[in-house]
Amino acid sequence: MSDTEMRAGEVALPFDPAETTFAGVIRIGQLSTPWARGNCPKYLNQARDRGGVFQAHVDMPFRPALLGLEPGMTVVLLYWMGQARRDLLVQAPAHRSEPTGTFALRSPARPNPFAMAVVRLVAIDRESGVLELDAADAFDGTILLDIKPWLPSIDMPRHTEK
C-alpha cells in the first residue's frame, strides 16, 4: 500500500500539513482554560485541585479524527507553550536545591516548547469539536498540536528489578 492510498473509512485533510509549516507541525485547535501569566498552576494536579472549566477546541478540518474518543477516556494532549523561553539549557527552579538540565524538568522553557498532559475526557461534542477535560495547566488560548489515546498496555513502562 502506498502512502497516498487510503483504507475504507479513512478521512484525509485536503492539504499536506508538511507543506504548510516548518517540520510539518500545525495547530489542530486550542485550549480554553481559566489561566493566564501569573495565575497558571505549574502541574496538572494543581489545576485539578483549583478546578475550573477546561476545554480543547478542535478546528473544523480535524473533527473527523475525534471518532473513537469517548467520555471517560484518558488521552495525551500535546500543545505548544509559545510564550516560554527557549534558550535555557539548565534551569534553577524554586522547588529544586540545585540547577537542573532542561531535559530533566517538565518546565515549559525548552528549545522546542512542546508540552504534554495526560487528562481524562469529561465530555465530547464532535460537531463543535469541543472536548471537556478534567484539567489543563496551560494558558488560555494555548495552541493544541495533537491528541493521542493513553493506553496502559503501551504507555506504562515495564518495571524491572535492578
Residue 87 pLDDT:
86
SS3 57: strand
Distance CA(16)–CA(26), nearest Å, equals: 10
Domain 25-34+43-152 annotated CATH 3.40.640.10? no
Torsion angle of the four alpha carbons 130, 77, 62, 122, in this order, in degrees rounded to the nearest 10: -30
One-letter identity of residue 37: R
Distance CA(58)–CA(75), nearest Å, equals: 14
Number of helices (H), then strands (E), in the chain: 2, 8
Q: Which of 7-16, 51-60, 90-99, 141-150 has the lowest mean pLDDT?
A: 7-16
One-letter identity of residue 53: V
Residue 109 pLDDT:
85
Q: Under a CB-based contact definition with an 8 Å cutoff, are residues 137 and 42 in contact? A: yes
Q: List pLDDT tens digits, range 57-110.
A: 999 999 999 999 999 999 999 999 988 888 888 988 888 888 888 999 988 888
Average pLDDT over residues 31-59: 95
Please tell me the pTM assigned to this model.
0.85
Residue 2 pLDDT:
55
Q: Is the model's pLDDT at 162 over the cut of 80?
A: no
